[in-house]
């Protein structure tokens, strides 16, 4: 597979506005996870209403993975005219990229609407007058500050951040939806300060549902503008009581003094026209949502199938062969397709009882997932290439897949039909291996050698000869070492063993991340953590670090019969680390917590024998 080309682009939306409206400058990087910095162009011609706001996404469609990072600013022009916006720059890896230049046309007229109300897609586009359609509404007085009025109480009455979930109890692997909403009846410039971390869950972020940036909802009998801060579907990875953390939004709220409001049109004043700055009162308020506790129930032990691997939802399975008749010169191809809705993103390859004489290779995985549905729907396709050594008739037994259905609170097992194969004797000239190749997974030199029996015999003779030579040399060296050991004191020998064990235990595979953790000016903590975790896992499981990801690790650990909870925790950690690496503005508050989790998981994995 050819690596997708890195791209860095900029856009301004809309490209033409009135002088009282806002535009969104968006800078976006595609197909790179090694982003060091995104530097916007000079914004001297604008008032920055909001930003930088960051987004990070990853999608997989028909096996094609698309990663993107975006940074955006909501801007208000300082004057009408044509504004040329220079190129932005991004440091990606060791290379500096430049975006395209832009032009914004600002008309010398007003729209007659609240400035922020016309801005699509941004949850913080000014939060202007929510009652612009009815200027006579008595609720418009929420903008006006009267003498003696308590500002904190006024803010608390008219603005709040809430976390809402569609359920507070679920099974392990059963999704729930968490939505963080900002309810506002005030004029505010707001920015997300702390995004919640969902420890203990596999997380899939959902797109904001509001086309115009906000919706209208009633709360306690009063109408609010509602802005979706974050919406995600969460899949619990373990049972117990798990608390969803708070989100925090910083708000700069503006009020108009009552005496000024009585002298002119309050609508013009709120749009920034014809008002003395001394008549405006600004209050900075940090709002946090209340945490919500989720009770995660363990999956029942009664009726749990022996081959159950943690799939929760409703699924079906299909299996097919590329062809049922072929010779020993060829390789077979078995395709297994799992379809349905549930925790598909966590599902690994089903177990297959290969008949004696069939040698299978690591499968290629293709995801076709729809992450916008709850639960995730779609399918996973596993392609297994296999070789047959002797001619004859074989049968691949029915392939079973078990899952827990939370709707019926029961386990179910689906299975394929057995697949017969007829293999004839070949000529001895082998066709190229029919292995579905993913990135960097080339057919190895050993596979090429061992695909031909003559070469196998020659290679075996060579290996035996070399082994005898080195065995003889090793025995001679061992005798010399025994003589030296006999002359050493027991204390010396014991001390060497202690020092060797100590040196081994002191090795920390996260050395660079640890150094960065305590360095005040180090900004690459998550880059180091991502690199060192993948290097450790590559060494642990004999993989190329470039091929280490949450999917490949799950497959390898599953084959080693490692604890499923450990597999899911490691998958979640790798996803969170990559999220932080993709985001150009890392959350420093998460460094210690993620370092501790990484270190703890390494200790757990070290307890498993290779």
Pair (422, 354) in one structural domain: yes
pLDDT category, 113, cuts 50, 70, 90? very low
CA distance 518 to 516: 5
- What does the pLDDT average to over 20-41? 80
pTM of the shown model: 0.54
Domain boundary (111, 135, 162) is at 111
Q: Residue 186: which of 245, 121, 115, 270 has the closest Cα?
A: 270
Pair (280, 154) in one structural domain: yes
Identify whether 346 is part of a domain.
yes
* CATH code of the domain containing 366: 2.60.40
Pair (160, 183) in one structural domain: yes
Domain boundary (255, 275, 298) is at 298
Identify whether 554 is part of a domain.
yes
Q: Does residue 314 carry a pLDDT above 90?
A: yes
Q: Residue 252: which of 280, 273, 276, 278 has the closest Cα?
A: 280
List beta partners, residue 336: 319, 382
HSE, CB side, 13 Å, CA atoms: give it for residue 360.
Answer: 16
Identify whether 459 is part of a domain.
no
Identify whether 472 is part of a domain.
no
Number of C-beta neighbours around residue 385 at 10 A:
20
Residue 577, Cα to own-chain centre: how many angstroms? 8
pLDDT category, 296, cuts 50, 70, 90? very high
pLDDT of 235 = 93
pLDDT digits 0-9 by tens, 504-557? 444 678 888 888 887 777 878 888 898 999 999 988 888 888 888 877 887 788
- For the chain, the domain total comes to 4
Domain boundary (111, 126, 143) is at 111
pLDDT of 39 = 84
Better-scored residue on pLDDT, 100 or 5 = 100
CA distance 58 to 8: 16
pLDDT digits 0-9 by tens, 377-386? 999 999 999 9
Pair (274, 137) in one structural domain: yes
Pair (210, 262) in one structural domain: yes
pLDDT of 17 = 87
Pair (136, 78) in one structural domain: no
Q: Structure tokens of 502?
A: 């100590």
pLDDT of 268 = 55
pLDDT of 431 = 58
Pair (238, 356) in one structural domain: no
pLDDT of 70 = 77
pLDDT category, 606, cuts 50, 70, 90? confident
Pair (246, 271) in one structural domain: yes
pLDDT of 313 = 96
pLDDT digits 0-9 by tens, 553-593? 877 887 787 877 788 888 888 888 877 776 545 556 678 87
- Where are any strands of DSSP class E within 31-131? 35-39, 46-61, 64-77, 81-85, 89-92, 95-98, 102-107
Say if residue 604 is exposed, middle or buried (CB neighbours under 10 Å; 0-12, 13-18, 19+).
Answer: middle
CA distance 104 to 93: 31
- What does the pLDDT average to over 401-423? 96
Average pLDDT of the chain, as a whole number = 77
Better-scored residue on pLDDT, 445 or 174 = 174
pLDDT of 501 = 39
Pair (287, 317) in one structural domain: no
Identify whether 442 is part of a domain.
no
487's enclosing H/E stretch is: helix 453-487
Of 55-59, 354-358, 488-492, 577-581, which has the strongest mean pLDDT? 354-358
Pair (30, 91) in one structural domain: yes
Pair (500, 355) in one structural domain: no
Helices 591-606 and 564-582, packing angle to 10 deg: 150
Identify whether 444 is part of a domain.
no
Residues with Cβ within 8 Å of residue 524, at least 6 apart in sequence: 36, 516
What is the three-class DSSP state of 58?
strand
H and E: helices and strands count for the chain: 11, 32
* CATH code of the domain containing 75: 2.60.40.740
Pair (131, 28) in one structural domain: no
Q: Does residue 65 carry a pLDDT above 80?
A: no
pLDDT category, 230, cuts 50, 70, 90? confident
Identify whether 16 is part of a domain.
yes
Identify whether 463 is part of a domain.
no
- What does the pLDDT average to over 107-118? 53
Q: Which domain holds residue 124?
A: 117-298
Better-scored residue on pLDDT, 170 or 361 = 170
CA distance 477 to 393: 52
Q: Does residue 251 carry a pLDDT above 80?
A: yes
DSSP state of 501: H
């Amino acid at each position: 597979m050819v690596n997708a080309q890195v791209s860095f682009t900029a856009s301004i939306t809309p490209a033409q506005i009135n002088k009282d409206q806002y535009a969104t400058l968006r800078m976006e990087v595609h197909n790179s996870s090694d982003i060091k910095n995104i530097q916007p162009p000079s914004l001297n011609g604008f008032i920055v209403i909001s930003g930088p706001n960051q987004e990070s996404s990853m999608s997989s469609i028909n096996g094609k993975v698309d990663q993107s990072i975006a940074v955006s600013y909501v801007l208000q022009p300082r004057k009408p005219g044509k504004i040329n916006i220079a190129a932005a720059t991004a440091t990606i890896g060791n290379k500096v990229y430049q975006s395209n230049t832009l032009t914004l046309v600002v008309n010398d007229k007003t729209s007659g609407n609240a400035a922020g109300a016309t801005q699509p897609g941004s949850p913080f586009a000014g939060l202007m007058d929510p009652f612009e359609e009815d200027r006579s509404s008595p609720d418009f007085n929420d903008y006006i500050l009267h003498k003696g009025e308590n500002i904190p109480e006024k803010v608390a009455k008219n603005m709040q951040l809430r976390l809402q979930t569609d359920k507070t109890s679920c099974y392990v692997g059963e999704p729930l939806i968490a939505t963080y909403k900002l309810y506002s009846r005030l004029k505010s410039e707001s920015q997300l300060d702390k995004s919640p971390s969902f420890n203990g869950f596999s997380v899939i972020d959902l797109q904001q549902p509001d086309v115009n940036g906000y919706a209208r909802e009633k709360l306690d009998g009063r109408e609010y503008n509602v802005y979706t801060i974050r919406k995600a579907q969460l899949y619990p990875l373990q049972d117990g009581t798990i608390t969803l953390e708070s989100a925090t939004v910083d708000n700069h709220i503006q009020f108009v003094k009552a005496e000024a409001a009585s002298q002119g049109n309050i609508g013009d004043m709120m749009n920034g026209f014809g008002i003395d700055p001394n008549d405006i009162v600004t209050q900075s308020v940090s709002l946090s949502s209340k945490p919500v506790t989720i009770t995660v129930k363990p999956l029942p032990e009664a009726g749990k199938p022996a081959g159950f691997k943690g799939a929760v939802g409703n699924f079906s399975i299909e299996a097919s062969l590329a062809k049922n008749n072929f010779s020993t010169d060829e390789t077979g191809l078995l395709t297994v397709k799992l379809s349905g809705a549930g925790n598909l993103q966590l599902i690994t390859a089903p177990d297959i009882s290969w008949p004696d004489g069939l040698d299978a290779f690591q499968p290629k995985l293709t995801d076709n997932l729809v992450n916008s549905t709850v639960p995730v729907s779609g399918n996973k396709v596993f392609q297994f290439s296999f070789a047959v050594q002797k001619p004859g008739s074989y049968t691949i037994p029915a392939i079973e897949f078990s899952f827990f259905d939370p709707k019926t609170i029961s386990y179910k097992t689906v299975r394929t039909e057995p697949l017969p194969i007829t293999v004839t004797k070949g000529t001895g000239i082998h066709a190229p291996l029919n292995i579905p190749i993913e990135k960097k997974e080339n057919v190895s030199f050993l596979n090429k050698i061992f695909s031909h029996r003559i070469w196998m015999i020659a290679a075996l003779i060579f290996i035996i000869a070399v082994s005898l030579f080195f065995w003889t040399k090793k025995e001679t060296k061992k005798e010399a070492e025994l003589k030296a050991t006999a002359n050493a004191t027991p204390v010396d020998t014991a001390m060497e063993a202690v020092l060797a064990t100590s040196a081994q235990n002191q090795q920390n595979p996260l050395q660079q991340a640890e150094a960065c953790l305590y360095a005040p000016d180090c900004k690459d903590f998550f880059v180091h953590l991502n690199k060192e975790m993948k290097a450790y896992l590559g060494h642990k499981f004999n993989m190329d670090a470039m091929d280490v990801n949450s999917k490949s690790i799950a497959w390898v650990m599953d084959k080693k019969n490692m604890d499923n909870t450990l597999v899911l925790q490691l998958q979640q950690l790798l996803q969170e680390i990559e999220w932080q690496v993709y985001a150009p503005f890392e959350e420093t508050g998460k460094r210690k917590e993620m370092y501790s989790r990484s270190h703890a998981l390494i200790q757990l994995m070290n307890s498993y024998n290779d």
